[in-house]
């Protein structure tokens, strides 16, 4: 019965090929999604740093000179992180922005709402980026893609972890366990 | 912004997701955006002019409830046409993890997709079965929203994803101002306690409330219980019993405006639910209508009532505690006035105008800066047949008999 075996082997091979092609489509789609999400996150982070710089440069009176100096320094560091660790630099900027006095009299309302809106969008963009990274890693880690070395030469995308207090901007508990503590 | 909303359930059947899509569309349109809806329906004529008919769904009994399914070449062709003609900046699908028109959109659309997950506990077994299979297409969603912490947990556990939480909304204004039900004006026509919901479902807790009513009428002989909602009236009569009968009025199922009037009329609104309720929309509506609330201490209720600041929380399933809380509130007009006044303020965070802005922020986050629009992918991306055998062929042929 060699014919039957050949047929079976052929069918299996065909199925495997189909699966590989399908998985490659998924992987490249995920790669594009990660890239898109990163573009958005990067844009929002740059924007946040820009607005913080503007605030520090033009309205030192509202912040106090010392705070304005600190804010300008962390904003500059976030734009061009010295040791290349962007997460640390962005965290420092985020912390400085959260510690701003709640009463920013003298600062135009437009700038304040812009800053608040950008902070929210940083939180959203980061979550969506990490979502895309998680989906990619889940597929890359599956047994068959690993065995067949699909996309194995490309770097595994990294999570971007900063403390953006998303539970505040996104309205509710960050994780299930957090809400249980309530 | 050009926004395409996709509702997976039949438009002319009442349901939470349908209302959500309808209200969101209305609010976004009010903010100056272009919104179109794609939805199945029982009757095509029942759709509003800006909605596109996506066919009918097939009810499939599953795990004690009905799941509606919709799949196939005709639906796919409708989806494809809608996407190509819509030129949307973003497509927002609802409940995409079941085999519905929402999942079809995920399969066919190319471009930014936002998805909202509504299901909390009840449908999670269904999700557990279907979710992993739908995964390759759910991967295309750029931004995920869950309407509650529970919905998010379902998402995390069954689909291995994460989601931003944006709750269900309410048109606060529509509940705050308006007439009351004739003969039941708040504060004038004798103390009334309101109950709304399917009264023959034990988990809604009506038996507990009736037990508590026996305590209430002993102290407030004029007190009446108004019951609104669907159910079997004969069973209810038996449940109420002779002693309570003069104190109970059955209003039956109410229309939306009547529901608002009902909530504006009652002196106390009571939600004695025993379990479930991933999200207490009706409590928010009651808050907006200025009804003082006594509710059981479910997580979702406690969150809406700000841990007891915006309403009274009692232990679930305890008629004694419920009776005492109702009596105390009926005997304290100052506290009632205070709750009544604070209600719309507490509900304001759930107003559609506020939530639509948060949803817009999500849209803006997933839309790429270069402003490409959503289109329909080529036929090859369509299901099950892997693209390895991609050839120039049109989609209907895929289902044609070989």
Quick: pLDDT tens for B49-70.
888 888 887 776 655 555 667 7
Pick the range with the lowest mean pLDDT from A11-25, A31-45, B251-265, B388-402. Answer: B388-402
Q: How far apart are CA B18 and CA B22, in angstroms?
A: 6
Pairing of strands B113-117, B90-94: parallel
A120 vs B contacts (CB less than 8 Å): 361
Do B299 and A179 lie within an 8 Å CB cutoff?
A: yes
pLDDT band of residue B113 (cuts 50, 70, 90) is: very high
Residue B16 CA to its chain's centroid (Å): 3
Would you call B158 exposed, middle or buried from its count of C-beta atoms within 10 A (0-12, 13-18, 19+)?
buried
* The predicted structure's pLDDT at residue B286: 93
pLDDT at A182 over 60: no
Q: Which two structure tokens, joined as six digits, stand for A83? A: 């040791």
A19 vs B contacts (CB less than 8 Å): 386, 388
Pick the range with the lowest mean pLDDT from B58-62, B70-74, B138-142, B201-205. Answer: B58-62
Q: How far apart are CA A29 and CA A45, in angstroms?
A: 24
pLDDT at B85 over 70: yes
The more confidently predicted of residues B389 and A76 is A76
- Compute the average pLDDT of residues B4-16: 86
pLDDT band of residue B393 (cuts 50, 70, 90) is: very low
Pick the range with the lowest mean pLDDT from A127-141, B108-122, B195-209. Answer: B108-122
* The predicted structure's pLDDT at residue B380: 47
Here the CATH number for the domain that contains residue A154 is 1.20.1440.20
Do B368 and A39 lie within an 8 Å CB cutoff?
A: yes
Q: Which fold has domain B2-169+352-399?
A: Rossmann fold (3.40.50)
pLDDT at B93 over 90: yes
Say yes or no: B365 contacts chain A, CB-CB below 8 A: yes
Q: What is the largest CA-CA distance in chain A?
A: 90
Q: How far apart are CA B96 and CA B8, in angstroms?
A: 8
pLDDT at B1 over 80: yes
- Compute the average pLDDT of residues B322-351: 90
* The predicted structure's pLDDT at residue B291: 92
Alpha-carbon distance values, B282 to A103, B67, B145 (Å):
37, 24, 21
How close A40 gets to chain B, by Cα (Å)? 7
B362 phi/psi in degrees, rounded to 5: -65, -45
Say yes or no: B63 contacts chain A, CB-CB below 8 A: no
Q: Select from B46, B165, B147, B34 the least CA-distant residue to B95.
A: B147
> Please, what is the Cα angle at B213 between B209 and B217, to 5 degrees?
170
B2-169+352-399 with B172-347: one CATH topology?
Answer: yes
Would you call A87 exposed, middle or buried from its count of C-beta atoms within 10 A (0-12, 13-18, 19+)?
middle
What count of CB pairs under 8 Å joins A to B? 88
Alpha-carbon distance values, B330 to B176, B229, B269, B286 (Å):
21, 23, 11, 17
Alpha-carbon distance values, B307 to B279, B280, B290 (Å):
14, 14, 18
Q: Select from A93, A95, A171, A85 the least CA-distant residue to A127.
A: A171
* The predicted structure's pLDDT at residue A167: 53
pLDDT at B400 over 70: no
- Compute the average pLDDT of residues B289-303: 89
Residue of chain A whose Cα is closest to the Cα of B137: A26
Residue A125 falls within a domain, yes or no? yes
Q: Write the secondary structure of chain A as one string of H (helix), E (strand) and C (coil).
A: CHHHHHHHHHHHHHHHHHHHHHHHHHHHHHHHHHHHHHHHHHHHHHHHHHHHHHHHHHCHHHHCHHHHHHHHHHHHHHHCCCCCCHHHHHHHHHHHHHCCCCCCCCCCHHHHHHHHHHHHHHHHHHHHHHHHHHHHHHHHHCHHHHHCCCCCCCCCCCCCCCCCCHHHHCCCCCCHHHHHHC
Residues in B 243-262 with any Cβ partner in A closer than 8 A: none
pLDDT digits (tens, 9 = 90+) for B341-360: 988 998 998 999 999 999 99
Residue of chain A whose Cα is closest to the Cα of B164: A170
- Compute the average pLDDT of residues B63-82: 76
Pick the range with the lowest mean pLDDT from A91-100, B65-74, B240-249. Answer: B65-74
pLDDT at A50 over 50: yes
Residue A177 falls within a domain, yes or no? no
Domain extents for chain B? 2-169+352-399, 172-347
B39 beta partners: B53
pLDDT digits (tens, 9 = 90+) for A19-48: 989 889 899 889 989 998 999 899 889 999
Residue A140 falls within a domain, yes or no? yes
Percent above pLDDT 70 for chain A:
88
Q: How far apart are CA B283 and CA B270, in angstroms?
A: 9
How close A75 gets to chain B, by Cα (Å)? 22
Q: Select from B286, B280, B261, B267 the least CA-distant residue to B216.
A: B267
pLDDT at A135 over 70: yes
pLDDT at B237 over 90: no
Work out the angle between the directed axes of helices B319-330 and B206-219 (0-180°, nearest 10). Answer: 50
A30 vs B contacts (CB less than 8 Å): 139
Choose from A26, A170, A175 for mutation: most chain B CBs within 10 A. Answer: A170
Do B388 and A37 lie within an 8 Å CB cutoff?
A: no
The more confidently predicted of residues A87 and A38 is A38
Whole-number mean pLDDT of chain B?
82
* The predicted structure's pLDDT at residue B323: 92
A121 vs B contacts (CB less than 8 Å): 361, 364-365
Q: Select from B279, B367, B347 the least CA-distant residue to A124.
A: B367
Q: Select from B107, B140, B115, B117 the least CA-distant residue to A135.
A: B140
Q: Which two structure tokens, joined as six digits, stand for B393? A: 């062929």
Owning domain of residue A85: 25-171
pLDDT band of residue A81 (cuts 50, 70, 90) is: confident
pLDDT at A181 over 70: no
Whole-number mean pLDDT of chain A?
80
pLDDT at B388 over 50: no
Say yes or no: B85 contacts chain A, CB-CB below 8 A: no
Q: Which residues of A46-71 are buried (b: 16+ CB within 10 A; e: fewer)?
A: ebbbebbbbbbeebbebbeeebbebb
CB A133 within 8 A of CB A34: yes
Residue A10 falls within a domain, yes or no? no
Residue A164 falls within a domain, yes or no? yes
Residue A79 falls within a domain, yes or no? yes
Residue A17 falls within a domain, yes or no? no
- Compute the average pLDDT of residues B378-400: 42
Map residue B251 onto helix, strand or coil. Answer: strand
Q: Which fold has domain B172-347?
A: Rossmann fold (3.40.50)
Q: Which regions of B90-247 does DSSP assign to beta strands (E)?
A: 90-94, 109-110, 113-117, 143-146, 164-165, 192-196, 224-228
Number of Cβ within a 10 Å radius of residue B299: 16
pLDDT at B396 over 70: no
Residue A99, C-beta contacts closer than 8 angstroms, at least 6 positions apart: none
To 10 degrees, the CA torsion angle through B47, B51, B53, B59? Answer: -70
How close A164 gets to chain B, by Cα (Å)? 13
Residue A32 falls within a domain, yes or no? yes
Pick the range with the lowest mean pLDDT from A128-137, B188-197, B330-339. Answer: B188-197
pLDDT band of residue B263 (cuts 50, 70, 90) is: very high
To 10 degrees, the CA torsion angle through B58, B59, B61, B64? Answer: 150
How close A104 gets to chain B, by Cα (Å)? 24
pLDDT digits (tens, 9 = 90+) for A142-165: 888 888 888 877 888 888 888 776
Say yes or no: B362 contacts chain A, CB-CB below 8 A: yes
Pick the range with the lowest mean pLDDT from A156-165, B103-112, B275-284, B315-324. Answer: B275-284
Domain count, chain A: 1
């Amino acid at each position: 019965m060699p014919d039957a075996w050949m047929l079976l082997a052929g069918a299996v091979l065909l199925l495997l090929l189909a699966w590989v092609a399908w998985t490659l489509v998924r992987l490249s789609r995920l790669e594009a999604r990660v890239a898109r999400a990163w573009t958005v996150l990067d844009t929002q982070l740059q924007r946040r740093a820009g607005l913080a710089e503007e605030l520090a440069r033009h309205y030192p009176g509202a912040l106090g000179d010392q705070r304005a100096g600190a804010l300008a320094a962390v904003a500059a560091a976030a734009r061009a992180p010295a040791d290349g660790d962007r997460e640390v630099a962005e965290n420092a900027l985020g912390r400085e922005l959260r510690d701003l006095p709640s009463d920013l009299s003298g600062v135009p309302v437009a700038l304040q709402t812009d800053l608040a809106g950008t902070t929210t969008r940083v939180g959203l963009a980061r979550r969506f980026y990490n979502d895309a990274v998680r989906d990619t890693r889940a597929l890359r880690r599956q047994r068959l893609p690993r065995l067949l070395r699909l996309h194995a030469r490309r770097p595994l995308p990294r999570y971007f972890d900063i403390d953006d207090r998303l539970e505040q901007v996104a309205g509710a508990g960050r994780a299930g366990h957090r809400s249980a503590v309530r | 912004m050009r926004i395409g909303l996709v509702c997976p359930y039949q438009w002319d059947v009442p349901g939470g997701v349908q209302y959500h899509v309808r209200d969101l569309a209305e609010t976004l349109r009010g903010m100056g955006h272009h919104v179109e809806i794609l939805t199945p329906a029982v009757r095509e004529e029942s759709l509003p002019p800006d909605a596109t008919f996506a066919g009918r769904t097939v009810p499939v009994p599953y795990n004690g409830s009905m799941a509606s399914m919709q799949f196939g070449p005709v639906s796919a062709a409708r989806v494809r046409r809608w996407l190509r003609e819509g030129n949307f900046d973003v497509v927002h699908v609802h409940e995409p993890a079941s085999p519905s028109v929402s999942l079809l959109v995920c399969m066919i659309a190319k471009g930014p997709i936002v998805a909202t997950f509504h299901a909390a506990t009840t449908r999670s077994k269904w999700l557990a079965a279907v979710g992993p299979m739908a995964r390759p297409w759910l991967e295309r969603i750029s931004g995920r929203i869950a309407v509650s912490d529970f919905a998010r947990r379902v998402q995390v556990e069954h689909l291995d994803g994460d989601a931003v939480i944006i709750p269900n909304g309410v048109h606060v204004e529509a509940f705050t101002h308006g007439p009351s039900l004739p003969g039941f004006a708040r504060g004038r026509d004798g103390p009334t306690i309101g109950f709304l919901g399917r009264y023959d479902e034990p988990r809604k807790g009506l038996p507990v409330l009736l037990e508590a009513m026996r305590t209430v009428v002993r102290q407030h002989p004029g007190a009446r219980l108004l019951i609104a909602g669907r159910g079997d009236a004969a069973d209810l009569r038996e449940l109420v019993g002779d002693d309570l009968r003069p104190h109970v009025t059955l209003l039956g199922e109410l229309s939306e405006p009547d529901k608002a009037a009902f909530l504006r009329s009652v002196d106390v609104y009571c939600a004695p639910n025993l379990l479930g309720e991933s999200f207490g929309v009706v409590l928010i509506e009651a808050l907006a209508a200025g009804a003082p609330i006594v509710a059981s201490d479910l997580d979702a209720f406690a969150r809406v009532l700000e841990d007891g600041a915006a309403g009274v929380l009692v232990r679930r399933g305890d008629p004694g505690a419920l009776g005492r809380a109702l009596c105390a509130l009926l005997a304290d007009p100052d506290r009632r006035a205070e709750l009544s006044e604070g209600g719309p303020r507490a509900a304001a965070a759930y107003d559609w105008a506020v939530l639509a802005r948060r949803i817009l922020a999500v849209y803006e986050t997933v839309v790429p800066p270069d402003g490409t629009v959503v289109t329909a992918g080529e036929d090859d991306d369509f299901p099950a047949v892997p693209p390895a055998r991609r050839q120039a062929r049109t989609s209907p042929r895929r289902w044609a008999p070989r």
